[in-house]
Amino acid sequence: MDRSDFSIQDRGEATLAPPGAIRLPLVSFVLTRQPGDDFARVIEAMRMQTYPRFEAILVDAGATASSRTAMERQIDGDPRFKTVSVDTAPGPFGRASLGLAASEGEFVTFLQATELPVPSFAAFHIQAHLASRHNVAFTASSISMDEPARGDLLPPASPAPAPAAAWLQPATPVLRLSCLADDVFADLASRTTLLEPARLGWSASPDAAQMYRRFIIDLLDPGAGASTEQPSSPAALYAPLCQLLGGSAAIGMPLSRRLPVAIPPTAGREAEASVADDRLRLRVWASNGSDFARRIGSQRYWDGLTLLLGGLRPGSGKLPSVAQIAERTDGLLPLLVHAFGERRAIHRLDSQLPRPDVLAILRKHHGAGLPLRVHFALHTTVLRQMNERVRQHLRARKSKRRQS
């Protein structure tokens, strides 16, 4: 790699270590397309990226001899591009999974052939990760419908955000990319905002492009829920769950542009996909319950489950109806029981949710006639909560005596 690609405290890579000893993270772009779309424009956008270390995985689902030939001609032997061709035509998430399996990067971005990143897309996202005061699961930037100028290296100007504490660290002590000048770094720092794990917003929206830390999305195996359903898109699964696990950082500028879609989905299909996405997120969250609870803490885990039951709708201030809860939690209880045990799972659900919602979840699995052990677990929830409050009170008193 070029020794001038980055610096730390104004010292170039050549003065910090032997050549090649320090390398920038590899970014994997997973590029997929709908039938009829062409990779030509997004390949051109990839070649204009100012970030020096990336790979682009082109997934040709439903491939034909002519489509394979066209892809090979478009990449023209460029070693940064890989192709994955399959005869079948899986859905959007299936196509993205094929590309993910072929990728090797520490950071991953999923783009469709109709989403064109500006040349500084990867540089802005990676610099936000490298300079963040805390590690976040992903960074997100908005997607514009405006046509970017062909030679623009920077995103279009947008109004400055309201004054707030800068989330990125000062420019001097962090690893700085040489392709971003000092004034550009300062602008990026002023427009980057942390979204705490409990906060849900536009970063989980289909109108945002995300760059994920690879190791976190590797934790979110949708097959763990033993379901034949697939999410409607990678962002539908990964963005909300990564947000709950590690939070995110929002970059307040449009870094990519979406080309017009010829046939938009119907409202009915969107509603069906929404319910399926809610159900799959819950199943992945539940099937990894014992691991996630250890990583982020028990209370935060169950708070996350409550947020997922709410459907992650921006601005929604209440849980869905009992019928919607039952629909979203189909297959959920056995996964929670496997992760935590039946009694503990019931107690935690009963302490987090209104009783009618808990009964809807239990009846979805057991039917109208609940077993006696389930009734007993529900009746002992209050006693367990009282016992836990007493234990916390005694621990607090003991801690105060030690301090005094």
Kindly state the average pLDDT of the residues 72-76: 88
The pLDDT confidence band at residue 44, using thresholds 50, 70 and 90, is very high
* Inter-helix orientation angle 342-352/381-403, to 10°: 80
Interval 311-331: pLDDT, tens? 555 445 566 788 888 888 989
pLDDT tens digits for 28-40? Answer: 999 998 877 889 9
Q: Which of 106-115, 151-160, 371-380 has the lowest mean pLDDT?
A: 151-160
Average pLDDT over residues 187-210: 79
Distances, alpha carbon 179 to alpha carbons 91, 199, 403, in Å: 36, 32, 52
Query: How high does pLDDT run on average in the chain?
Result: 82
169 vs 327: which has the higher pLDDT: 327
Q: How confident is the model at residue 69 (pLDDT cuts 50, 70, 90)?
A: confident
- Give the pLDDT of residue 267: 46
Question: What pLDDT shows up at residue 18?
Answer: 63
Give the CA distances from residue 16 to residues 22, 24, 175, 176, in Å, rounded to whole numbers and listed in that order. 8, 13, 12, 13
State the Cα–Cα distance between residues 279 and 284, nearest whole angstrom.
9
Q: What pLDDT is recorded for position 227?
A: 57
